[in-house]
Chains A and B, each alone.
Chain A
Amino acid sequence: VKLAAETSPVRIDPVTFSVLLNRLNSITTEMGVALANTASSALLALTLDFSCCIYDRQGRQIAMKDALPIHTNSMHLFIESIVTYFGDDIQEGDLIACNDPYSGNTHIGDLATACPVFHDGRIVLWTAIRAHQVDVGAPVATSSYAGARDVWQEGLTVPPVKLYEAGRPRRDVIDLYLANLRWRDLLEGDLMAQVGATQAGARKCRELCAEFGAGRLETFTEAALDYAARRTASEIRSMPKGEYLGEAWLDFDADPDRAVVVRCAVRIHEDTIDISFEGSSPQVEKGVNASFAVMQAAGGIPVMMAIDPDIPHNEGCLRRVRVTAPPGSICNATYPAATALATVLPGDVMQEAVCRALAHAVLPRATAGSAHWSNCPMLSGTDPDHGGYWGHQPLNGGGGGGASAGADGWPLITCSAAWGGLHTAPVEHTELLHPVLIEEWEVEPNSMGLGEHIGGPGVRFSLRPTRGPIEMIYANDGLENPPCGIQGGTPGAGGGSYVVDRKTGRRTFLPGEVEITIGPDELWVGVSSGGGGYGSPHRREAERVRCDVRDGLYGADVAREVFGVVLSEGEEPVIDREASDEARRLLEAAERESPNPSPVMPLTRAASRWRANSVRPGDLSLTVDQMRERAAGRPAAERRSRG
């Protein structure tokens, strides 16, 4: 064991070191609690779609409460762009906001706020929060609009601006921002909560500086970054050196003949890792390009998942992983490309590609692919009872997480960007506040990848309007290209969404990019994918297989053929040990004779059979263009551009 104090470039006593480490972490936690408790929208108060950080003067991340992994490795860029923009014109009591993906932000849906912390007349720290906003003033009611062809169709871009100057609110600027948003009251509540939490963090940091002095704090910062760097380096040293390749696909096509591919090369060096997205498709005219910040984060997360979770995610840790992508590509778009969905689309696909590459390195903590962002529609409409314009984004429809060497996947991981960090609103909360009835929210059998550990299952989530039509806007991914299985595990099943005519029972299958209005006689159904499986299924503990079958996750036929576990009939099946041993011997022998060609499954594009297996005679399938035509030809929900 090398020691924090011993090997640091500058010495700090070990007790002060630990005290400061705890204190800074507790400040970021406090910021998060303050924001969650005071925010107005379910998105911040309940699903906790935000992260809180502290940076040093040089914009290096010192402490972070990373609610969402996608925020972990990208907020320093926003601090850098503030400093570049304002130069010396930053004073005590300023609060600077920004949502511009071309000024270091992830995507327009995230608003980042930062406060400088002054001590003895100069900046020593920054507190910052990145939080998702319910609305950004896009042409349609969603803060992440896949249909945006460029930045001007995404919503109101906010380059670094001061919302507070020297401690005083700039009401004009705040009003300019809020005037562009739907549901202004709600968004103002969220903004004030975020501002308050950012400022509260700064206040605590000022007290900390007063107590310990700026010099000691700087010494500590060096020691803390060094501490995390050393721990990360030591984890990387234990990984097998080499170059590993991964390839993954967006469900979105650039055009009908051109798939969008994400390619990555992961190079594990002595104590650093390089990840390059060289060779990925060019950027597209939709909101599914990655900003620079998303590229940094999406590349790094699978590595963060593969190291000891106890290592602090500060600059020292993060800089052990270098992520690059050619400008102008889907993984690193150039202005004015739209990046409205960047954190998940293509962020989840980029993570999938890295996960596939890492599968070749066979890491002890590696995970199979997790569900991508899907079936989390932004709902809006006008309630005929009181004429109120409402909006709500339930996250109940999300998919399952990938299995790992140590555990089955979890359900509702929802996207790799969040990894289960989002909370779903209760069904009753949604129904109380909005004219919606949720018909079903259950585990989808056979949706998960199989293996020694199985993926978290996908879910079936369906809803219908109760009063007046509902506009639904969302984008899906990872349903045609399901999350991969690794080391012999099978991929998730994929999924999709459709609308049922409740009178005729006829179903209309929807494309991956959806803008549709459903009426009271229609039912919307989303089926999400489970995560990928890990390891050969015949190694799964037989008792676990028995419970899966008993609980209806998959059938006895799958247990016999894929897992080699032979069960008796009935609701409480019993394992036939002898027959199972024999079946497993055969599966093992087959695997020895023809081993998997790759530790990753599938290796081909659009591998999901979900739609092919689900569509029945009489069902319709709509392309994006057909869906738009259909929407134009019938009375749509009253579309309003104000709150």
Chain B
Amino acid sequence: VTWRVGVDIGGTFTDVAVVDDQGKLVIWKEDTTPAHPERAVQDGLSRVASLLGLDVGAFLSKVSPFVHGSTVATNTIIQRRGPRLGLVCTEGFRDVLYLRDGFKWDRFNPGLERPADFVPRYLRRSVRERIDARGNVVRPLDEDDVRAVAAALRDHRVETVAVALLWSLANPVHELRVREILQEELPSVPVLLSSDVLPELGEWVRTSATVLSAFVFLASQSYLRSLERWLADAGLETRPLIMQVNGGCATVEQTLRVPVSTIASGPAAAPAAALQVGRRVSARDMITVDMGGTSFDVCLIKDGEVPRSRAIAVAHQPIGIPGVEVHSIGAGGGSIAWIDAGGALRIGPQSAGARPGPAAYGLGGGEPTVTDANIVLGYLAPEAFLGGRRALSPELSEQAIRTRVARPLGLDLVQAAAGIIKLVNENMVNAIGVVSVERGIDPRPFLLVAGGGAGALHAGRLAAQLQIRRVLIPAEAGTISAYGMTVSDVRHDYAGALHTISTEPDTDGVGTLLEQLEVRALEELAEAGFGRQRVRLQRFVDARYVGQVHELLVPVRLGQVDQATFAEIVQSFHESHSIRYGWASEQRAVEFLHWRVTGFGVIDVHEERRFDELPRVAAEGARRSARRAYFDELGGFSSVPVYSSADFPAGGALRGPAFVDADTTTVVVFPDQHLVGDGRGSFLLETGMSPAGAGGG
């Protein structure tokens, strides 16, 4: 047997997911150790090894691949605990990092302080040089300037240098020479070039990506290298892979070339998990939601394609790297309900987090949270939380909601708790609207995949409100990102800038560029251990109407680039523009900016058993008890049967209202909804919405 392993470090827990050849899952949640994240990784691995009856060495020797989602880069940025950075800029453009894109996000708040720059102005040094939009050298690089900058940066004890010159995307010659000189002058200081990190148009975003990469480089390098060493010593025979924001994974080498690519990589693994578990119901159109303690992450997958965004930011800085587009709002189990100065009920974005946590934790958090409301309404069993590892106090929940919400609003306790749930559901429905309706996509025919500890409590209601027919609650829900890592392909993204217009396309130039990118992709995937037969290539281009600002990512066919290739691209651009924005203008010329190649190193995954292959049987054998719970449509509290997930038979079916309690989550089956289990901890919830309704309107 070999195991695929995913290890995801979260704010509260470090999740370990282990999957064998048959898809059998073992999970463990270890408390995260923020100061030394590798400890939780090591302890977690020991725990799963012992669950499998092995020692760590014997276990690791049979692991392939080992995929890790690291938060070191994110934490370094958020806590601003990086090295002293220098930034080399084009003369006249020393303040690109400070001036940003001129936008102040909270205009009506004059007391808002600007976030500090990652490189203070005196360490941003310019050199005389200039390249134009066509890649021509307008002014040659002044090498004396570079040496003077090197001397100044040495005097200031700079530990890492970012180089971001104008138009390096069109011609990197000056950046390359700057690096050579800096390496001569400052041999022990790492130098990162914007033309390596993000060879794309837009100096602010490119500079930001390069500076953030430089800021996290040393910390990422030291953490990833030592983890790699520890794993090798402990018995891992393959090289560990690191989860990337692009939804794939990559070797430590590749990661360190673009260190910022590990930002937000945890949530980026969820769609891969959804695509895998979606096979159980043969779904390729799905909306994944991940509701944890503090946030609610949504991603819409259409026809198996995971959407990508170039607008991912951390600490108000864009990372620039195209990544999995996950929309996130501050709505989780720990989100606090409060009454604002005008007497309106609000939920979040403040969260009680893991500490002090919801009032029910009894850790001193007196604020009522969504979890407290779920307890008061009977949805969450106080004794079954986290498999009984944490005792909850319903009295504290009641007290918090009564004093902070019910009394001020003149409601009774239950109305107040139901109101909290209704409002947080509304916020989540709106968030799902952002990724669907706002993009011209009707969510109703989609499968809703409920992840996260709190997802299954709310998913049935969200689906009903959105008129979504089916909800899949996978057994992997509680550790969805770690599981996603075990089924993620290795993915390397490459981009090159070449501006051309559909009326006069530069077919030769584009062909040459794409070939070069593909050669790099094949070489670097070979380094990561993927021979040609296990590599899949894809091409894309950023396209827009001439003069338009925002681009759409359009697929490009493989092989020879000719007029027909462009005709196809233009056609599919019009189509996707029409789908996404509701209009297209077929007579207008289309321009192309960045040409992209993605190389996948394909990971073998297990077959999934499908729900429709299961016999339908009664679920009564899994019925354990009943608890009183509130349902609006039943006019208040009633006694609701409770089932055990562990004992749920394959094909077991029931009709709501009901609860299914599992170790890391509780499934709420609302009145008249149907639930089927697969006997392995996954459930399919049917809301009773007619498929006809889903097609109409």
Q: Choose among B102, B106, B155, B343 the residue that contacts A4 (Cβ–Cβ < 8 A).
A: B343
CB contacts under 8 Å to A, within B182-232, are 201-205
What is the total of A-B residue contacts with beta carbons within 8 Å? 247
Quick check: A45 and B409 within 8 Å, CB to CB? no
Q: What is the minimal beta-carbon distance from B579 to any residue of chain A, in angstroms? A: 12
- Whether B438 sits at the interface, judged by CB under 8 Å, is yes
- CB contacts (< 8 Å) of B430 on chain A: these are 22-23, 26
Please, which residue of chain A has its CB at the minimum distance from the CB of B546? A185
Given contacts A19-B422, A23-B426, A45-B548, contact A3 B409 (CB under 8 A): yes
Quick check: A441 and B422 within 8 Å, CB to CB? no
- CB contacts (< 8 Å) of A422 on chain B: these are 102-103
Quick check: A429 and B202 within 8 Å, CB to CB? yes
Q: What is the minimal beta-carbon distance from A43 to any residue of chain B, in angstroms? A: 9
Quick check: B423 and A15 within 8 Å, CB to CB? yes
Quick check: A185 and B588 within 8 Å, CB to CB? yes
Quick check: B111 and A404 within 8 Å, CB to CB? yes
Q: How far is the CA of A189 from the CA of B104 in the complex (A)?
A: 27
Please, which residue of chain B has its CB at the minimum distance from the CB of A441? B93
Q: How far is the CA of A94 from the CA of B65 in the complex (A)?
A: 59
Please, which residue of chain B has its CB at the minimum distance from the CB of A436? B133
Quick check: A423 and B101 within 8 Å, CB to CB? yes
Q: Choose among B98, B341, B545, B582 the residue that contacts A411 (Cβ–Cβ < 8 A).
A: B98
Q: Most chain-B CB neighbours within 10 Å: which of A40, A227, A425?
A: A40
- Whether A336 sits at the interface, judged by CB under 8 Å, is no
Given contacts A15-B423, A185-B588, contact A395 B102 (CB under 8 A): yes
Quick check: A442 and B95 within 8 Å, CB to CB? yes
On chain B, the number of residues with a Cβ less than 8 Å from chain A's Cβ atoms is 76
| B-contact bits for A390-428, CB 8 A (1 contact / 0 none) | 000001101001101111101111100011111111111
- CB contacts (< 8 Å) of B415 on chain A: these are 15
Please, which residue of chain A has its CB at the minimum distance from the CB of B200? A428
Q: What is the minimal beta-carbon distance from A642 to any residue of chain B, in angstroms? A: 17
- CB contacts (< 8 Å) of A406 on chain B: these are 110-113
Q: Choose among B95, B120, B201, B438 the residue that contacts A428 (Cβ–Cβ < 8 A).
A: B201
Quick check: B548 and A15 within 8 Å, CB to CB? no
- Whether A139 sits at the interface, judged by CB under 8 Å, is no
Q: Choose among A41, A408, A410, A419 the residue that contacts B547 (Cβ–Cβ < 8 A).
A: A41
Q: Most chain-A CB neighbours within 10 Å: which of B121, B203, B344, B411?
A: B344
Q: Choose among B95, B108, B205 the residue that contacts A69 (Cβ–Cβ < 8 A).
A: B108
Quick check: B550 and A437 within 8 Å, CB to CB? no
Q: What is the minimal beta-carbon distance from B145 to any residue of chain A, in angstroms? A: 16
- CB contacts (< 8 Å) of B106 on chain A: these are 309
Given contacts A15-B419, A427-B203, contact A5 B111 (CB under 8 A): no
- CB contacts (< 8 Å) of B205 on chain A: these are 426
Q: What is the minimal beta-carbon distance from B545 to any residue of chain A, in angstroms? A: 6
Given contacts A420-B104, A443-B98, contact A551 B409 (CB under 8 A): no
Q: How far is the CA of A46 from the CA of B548 in the complex (A)?
A: 9
Quick check: A419 and B344 within 8 Å, CB to CB? no
Q: How far is the CA of A68 from the CA of B545 in the complex (A)?
A: 26
- CB contacts (< 8 Å) of A411 on chain B: these are 98-99, 102
Q: How far is the CA of A466 from the CA of B122 in the complex (A)?
A: 32
Quick check: B92 and A440 within 8 Å, CB to CB? yes
Q: Choose among B92, B98, B102 the residue that contacts A420 (Cβ–Cβ < 8 A).
A: B102
Quick check: B585 and A189 within 8 Å, CB to CB? yes
Chain B facing A: main interface SS: loop
Q: What is the minimal beta-carbon distance from B89 to any residue of chain A, in angstroms? A: 10
- Whether B637 sits at the interface, judged by CB under 8 Å, is no
| A-contact bits for B498-512, CB 8 A (1 contact / 0 none) | 010000000000000
Interface with B: A29-37, A123-131, A170-178, which one? A29-37
- CB contacts (< 8 Å) of A424 on chain B: these are 99, 101-102
- Whether A98 sits at the interface, judged by CB under 8 Å, is no
Q: What is the minimal beta-carbon distance from A616 to any residue of chain B, in angstroms? A: 21
| A-contact bits for B74-117, CB 8 A (1 contact / 0 none) | 00000000000000000011111011111110111111111000
- CB contacts (< 8 Å) of A441 on chain B: these are 92-93, 95-96, 99
- CB contacts (< 8 Å) of B617 on chain A: these are none
- Whether A439 sits at the interface, judged by CB under 8 Å, is yes
Quick check: B202 and A426 within 8 Å, CB to CB? yes
Q: How far is the CA of A190 from the CA of B409 in the complex (A)?
A: 45
Please, which residue of chain B has its CB at the minimum distance from the CB of A43? B549
| B-contact bits for A197-235, CB 8 A (1 contact / 0 none) | 000100010000000000000000000000110110010
- Whether B156 sits at the interface, judged by CB under 8 Å, is yes
Quick check: A18 and B344 within 8 Å, CB to CB? yes
Q: How far is the CA of A552 from the CA of B583 in the complex (A)?
A: 50
Quick check: A442 and B545 within 8 Å, CB to CB? no
Quick check: B344 and A37 within 8 Å, CB to CB? no
Quick check: A311 and B121 within 8 Å, CB to CB? no
Quick check: B166 and A227 within 8 Å, CB to CB? no
- Whether B562 sits at the interface, judged by CB under 8 Å, is no
Quick check: B102 and A34 within 8 Å, CB to CB? no
Q: How far is the CA of A85 from the CA of B432 in the complex (A)?
A: 39
Q: What is the minimal beta-carbon distance from B499 to any residue of chain A, in angstroms? A: 6
- Whether A605 sits at the interface, judged by CB under 8 Å, is no
Q: How far is the CA of A405 from the CA of B345 in the complex (A)?
A: 30
- CB contacts (< 8 Å) of B120 on chain A: these are 547, 550-551
- Whether A305 sits at the interface, judged by CB under 8 Å, is yes
- Whether A6 sits at the interface, judged by CB under 8 Å, is yes
Q: How far is the CA of A401 from the CA of B103 in the complex (A)?
A: 12
- Whether A42 sits at the interface, judged by CB under 8 Å, is yes
- CB contacts (< 8 Å) of A421 on chain B: these are 103-104, 107
Q: Choose among A33, A45, A437 the residue that contacts B138 (Cβ–Cβ < 8 A).
A: A437
Quick check: B343 and A442 within 8 Å, CB to CB? no
Q: How far is the CA of A37 from the CA of B325 in the complex (A)?
A: 15
Q: What is the minimal beta-carbon distance from A468 to any residue of chain B, in angstroms? A: 15
- Whether B613 sits at the interface, judged by CB under 8 Å, is no
Q: What is the minimal beta-carbon distance from B595 to any residue of chain A, in angstroms? A: 15
Please, which residue of chain A has its CB at the minimum distance from the CB of B152? A571
Q: What is the minimal beta-carbon distance from B65 to any residue of chain A, in angstroms? A: 37
- Whether A572 sits at the interface, judged by CB under 8 Å, is yes
Q: Choose among B411, B433, B437 the residue that contacts A14 (Cβ–Cβ < 8 A).
A: B411
- Whether A500 sits at the interface, judged by CB under 8 Å, is no
- Whether A38 sits at the interface, judged by CB under 8 Å, is yes
Q: Most chain-B CB neighbours within 10 Å: which of A17, A192, A427?
A: A427
Quick check: A14 and B201 within 8 Å, CB to CB? no
Please, which residue of chain A has its CB at the minimum distance from the CB of B411? A14
| A-contact bits for B112-133, CB 8 A (1 contact / 0 none) | 1110000011100000001011
- CB contacts (< 8 Å) of A38 on chain B: these are 581-583
Q: How far is the CA of A230 from the CA of B104 in the complex (A)?
A: 28
Quick check: A407 and B419 within 8 Å, CB to CB? no
Quick check: B155 and A6 within 8 Å, CB to CB? no
- Whether B446 sits at the interface, judged by CB under 8 Å, is no
Q: How far is the CA of A40 from the CA of B408 in the complex (A)?
A: 49
- Whether A21 sits at the interface, judged by CB under 8 Å, is yes
Q: How far is the CA of A34 from the CA of B433 in the complex (A)?
A: 13
Q: What is the minimal beta-carbon distance from B348 to any residue of chain A, in angstroms? A: 11
CB contacts under 8 Å to B, within A448-476, are 459, 462, 466
Q: Most chain-A CB neighbours within 10 Å: which of B133, B167, B339, B546?
A: B133
Quick check: B549 and A45 within 8 Å, CB to CB? yes
Q: How far is the CA of A425 from the CA of B409 in the complex (A)?
A: 47
Q: Choose among A188, A189, A367, A466 the residue that contacts B110 (Cβ–Cβ < 8 A).
A: A367
Q: What is the minimal beta-carbon distance from B309 to any residue of chain A, in angstroms? A: 12
- CB contacts (< 8 Å) of A188 on chain B: these are 585
- CB contacts (< 8 Å) of A427 on chain B: these are 93, 166, 203
Q: How far is the CA of A7 from the CA of B342 in the complex (A)?
A: 10
- Whether B238 sits at the interface, judged by CB under 8 Å, is no
Q: A426-B201, A552-B121 are in contact. List 19 more A-B contacts (CB 8 A).
A: A18-B346, A26-B434, A30-B437, A40-B547, A40-B549, A193-B583, A204-B437, A231-B342, A234-B341, A365-B111, A401-B104, A408-B114, A411-B99, A411-B102, A414-B102, A429-B201, A441-B96, A551-B120, A571-B156
What are 5 A-B contacts with C-beta separation under 8 Å? A15-B345, A22-B423, A26-B430, A45-B548, A396-B99
Closest 7 CB pairs of A and B: A420-B104, A406-B111, A3-B343, A551-B121, A412-B102, A440-B92, A15-B419
